[in-house]
Amino acid sequence: MAEIAPDIFFASISELNAKLRAKEFSCQELTRAFCDRMERIGPRYNALALSLRKQALSKAKDVDRELKRDRTRGPLQGIPYGAKDLLAVKKQPTTWSAKPYATQVFDYDARVIEKLNSVGAILIAKLSMVELAGGGDYRTAAASLTGPGLNPWDRTRWSGGSSSGPGSAVASGLVTFAIGSETSGSILTPSAFCGVTGLRPTYGLVSRSGAMALSWTLDKLGPMCRSAEDCALVLHEMAGADTADPGSAGRSFNYTPQYTTRRLADITIGYVPVDFENGAEPAAQPALRAAFEVIKSLGVKVKEIRIPEFPYGALVSTIIAGEAGSIFEDLIRSGKVDQLADPHQIAGLRAMLDLPATEYLRAMRVRSLVKAAFHDLFLSCDMVLAPARLGPAPKAADPLDAPGPPTRSRDDLIPGGNLAGLPAISLPCGFADGLPVAISLLGRPFYENQLIAIGNLFQKQTDWHRRRPPMEA
């Protein structure tokens, strides 16, 4: 049996796939090693919702047969990954990390699981999350069946929500990539806090069929990986039209950097000066300023901009309340909502049933103005550079609405970008108090290739995405 060196757990998708093709180890050996690591270390960060060892090893055996016959399916063939526990996996519990659904089982796979399975990727685990993906406005990191998501860089810190398990699992080398979801920040936040690269696709680019719905008009699925290139390789396989998802954009994504990347001198990146002067938390400012200088050095044009002013947070909250109240009406009216872990979340879900239709419709009308404003913004620039979050991860034991260090920047791009259905990528850019911080790039709809191109260039100039957390943390 080939020995799996520790570095393998932090290898890129392309590196792992090349080693599998070269027969340096078998897919079964690789999968078994990742399963062992997941089951041993995953509980340390409350990242593991369900091990899928048996079916993973069966799939790995099939991949070994294919590789033996030189039958290749692309770069994800044989690559171990994890999926947030809101994605259905056939005949396995899909709990949505909430006690009322602890025994829930579906007889089908989510569409993204089907697509990844078809190219030979190996699903080794369901990964933890905030209960119901945060619906109802949770206030504690412990709002989860598996306990608070803990950060591999410091287990007293939060890994971020609601894709807490994917963030911790990728950062600590438990999987090579993970599938998360975002309604308003649930891919970008844990990616930033855990020091991994996360991509939120354009609304409708990836099918949500078989995924728990929180907000039909906001939910998105996306990859959380080691690098921008890895995100591109996963999105290439995840994306595509699906008639089973009414929100499907009917489009695919092809990662073709040799054809789609524009000349750097022709790309204009907008930014808000205060974000990179003294707008973020003091400890994060040096890393953010250094990252800004790296982006400038790539040869792109940079331009000062103003983010359109809207009550983004209130709009997102109202839209989620209107849609989640309908989605979880049976849970709320049955009284089973009281089984959730966070009392504030229980109260928030109950209040959703009292939201007047006029408020929801008013929010949707203002949302159309948000989309128009971002459309106009992108007439003057190609993408927007900003801090992914204004500081590092908070303490896991602290209330999530506790006042943090003072900042001068407005943290608008996450809710604003989600309201407008825009793609964004989070890129690790350094550390503050020993914890990761990140920048983000926001683009116009279906601009993923250009965001990935700039992300690739940034990661060729830096090595933050290659840093590993101390495993004793």
Read off the pLDDT of residues 307-358 as tens digits, 9 standing for 90 and up.
999 999 999 999 999 999 999 999 999 999 999 999 999 999 999 999 999 9
Question: Does some domain include residue 240?
Answer: yes
Q: Look over the chain and give the mean of its residue pLDDT values, rounded to a whole number.
A: 96
Dump pLDDT digits (tens) for 201-235: 999 999 999 999 999 999 999 999 999 999 999 99
Question: Does some domain include residue 112?
Answer: yes
- Looking at residue 260, its pLDDT comes to 67
Question: Could you list the active site residues?
Answer: 84, 162, 186
Dump pLDDT digits (tens) for 173-204: 999 999 999 999 999 999 999 999 999 999 99
Domain holding 231, by residue range, is: 11-257
Question: Does some domain include residue 343?
Answer: no
Tell me the C-alpha distance between 264 and 29, whole Å. Answer: 42
Question: Does some domain include residue 149?
Answer: yes
Rounded (10°) CA dihedral 348, 160, 235, 420: 50
CATH number, domain at 212?
3.90.1300.10
Q: Report the b/e string of 51-66 with b at 16+ CB within 10 A.
A: ebbebbbebbeebbee
Asked if the model's pLDDT at residue 130 lies above 60, the reply is: yes
Dump pLDDT digits (tens) for 18-62: 999 999 999 999 999 999 999 999 999 999 999 999 999 999 999
Question: Does some domain include residue 82?
Answer: yes
Q: Which pTM was predicted? A: 0.97
Question: Does some domain include residue 181?
Answer: yes
Q: Is 259 exposed, middle or buried (0-12, 13-18, 19+ CB in 10 A)?
A: exposed
Question: Does some domain include residue 115?
Answer: yes
Q: What confidence category does residue 473 fall into, taking pLDDT thresholds of 50, 70 and 90?
A: very low
CA 271 to chain CA centroid, Å, is 23
Instruction: Count how many domains the chain has.
Output: 1
Question: Does some domain include residue 57?
Answer: yes
Q: What confidence category does residue 427 fall into, taking pLDDT thresholds of 50, 70 and 90?
A: very high
- Looking at residue 211, its pLDDT comes to 98
